[in-house]
Amino acid sequence: MEVNRIKTWVLIAALGGLFVVIGQLIGGTHGALVALAFAMVFNFSMYWFSDRIAIATSRSKPVTEQEYPALYRVVHELTGAQDMPMPRIYVSEMAQPNAFATGRNEHHAAVAVTKGLLQIVDDRELRAVLSHEISHVKNHDILIGSIA
């Protein structure tokens, strides 16, 4: 788990460094400083808002337990078994079957599924898909996936 965090921060630093190098090549010291400022704003934005961007891009909407009791039950069971907080749950109207987890960490995580997926899977298959997504949250894969 800690290795994934280190890899994420190395990626963020490398992207920032790439911005600075390109800025230096284009505009000298002034270009490097402008690129550094841009990289800092960009990385800050990606860290804080990447989950919202992913949710918006997939046109997912937050749902309640009353609307999707089976979905909530499975996510609650899976996160409870891992002693994790319950992520926010979203459903997209998209017809193609898909699911993803996003966020900064397990305290700021979201899981989204498409209606297309919910229409074709049974409870066992839904549990398998959501288990995979919850494992991304548990292993801290979601930040690097969200930023990428």
Side-chain-side CA neighbours of 42 within 13 Å: the count stands at: 17
Boundaries of every domain in the chain: 56-147
In this prediction, residue 117 carries a pLDDT of: 98
Walk along the chain (148 residues) and give the pLDDT tens digit of each residue.
577 678 777 888 888 899 999 999 999 999 999 999 998 898 888 878 888 988 999 999 999 999 999 999 999 999 999 999 999 999 999 999 999 999 988 899 999 999 999 999 999 999 999 999 999 999 888 877 656 5
CB atoms within 10 A of CB 67: 12
Q: What's 104's DSSP letter?
A: S
- Strand bridging mode 109-114 / 88-92: parallel
Q: What is the pTM of this model?
A: 0.79
Residues forming the active site: 133
CATH 3.40.50.10880 applies to domain 56-147 = no
Which residue shows structure tokens 């089976």? 70
77 burial level (CB within 10 Å; 0-12, 13-18, 19+): middle
* Residue whose C-alpha is closest to residue 58's, from 94, 88, 89, 87: 94
